[in-house]
Amino acid sequence: MGKRIMIVDDSSSIRALIASALNGQGYDVLEAEDGADALEKLMTQGKSVDMMITDLNMPRMDGINLIERFRKIPGYRFIPVVMLTTESQEEKRRQGKAAGASAWLTKPFKPEQLLGLVRMVLV
């Protein structure tokens, strides 16, 4: 039914904010607190995701590393990945794109902006 979106961010409040926006639109949400947690959940929970939204700066495994590994998982090559960046992270943004990110969103963003982007990439 609803598409499932994975949110990876070490800030639980931002995860809550995004999750509530997405839930409000009927999306199913899977949360992870960093890259390592995300990969572990993807591998062990047996649930596939239709999209991933990830922060870049995270302990243990950062977003860029995550995107690279995510793209190598069979079936996730063409799944949209949106990275959350801040104004000052132009270099990171470039690395993220090279790693296979589909799009990026600059923090702070309004929930509507995120929903617009999700609508756009999850056709």
Residues near another protein (CB under 8 A)? 10-14, 16-17, 20-21, 23-24, 55, 57-59, 77-81, 84, 86-87, 97, 100, 102-104, 107-109, 116-117, 119-123
Give the shortest CB-43-to-another protein separation in angstroms: 20
Nearer to another protein, 44 or 110 (CB): 110
Put the strands of the sheet holding 51-55 in their side by side order. 28-32, 4-8, 51-55, 81-86, 103-107
Give the shortest CB-97-to-another protein separation in angstroms: 8
CA angle 19, 107, 48 (to 5 degrees): 35
Burial of 82 (0-12, 13-18, 19+ CB in 10 A): buried
Give the shortest CB-45-to-another protein separation in angstroms: 21
Give the number of other Cβ atoms within 10 Å of residue 102's Cβ.
18
Nearer to another protein, 66 or 79 (CB): 79
Give the shortest CB-77-to-another protein separation in angstroms: 7
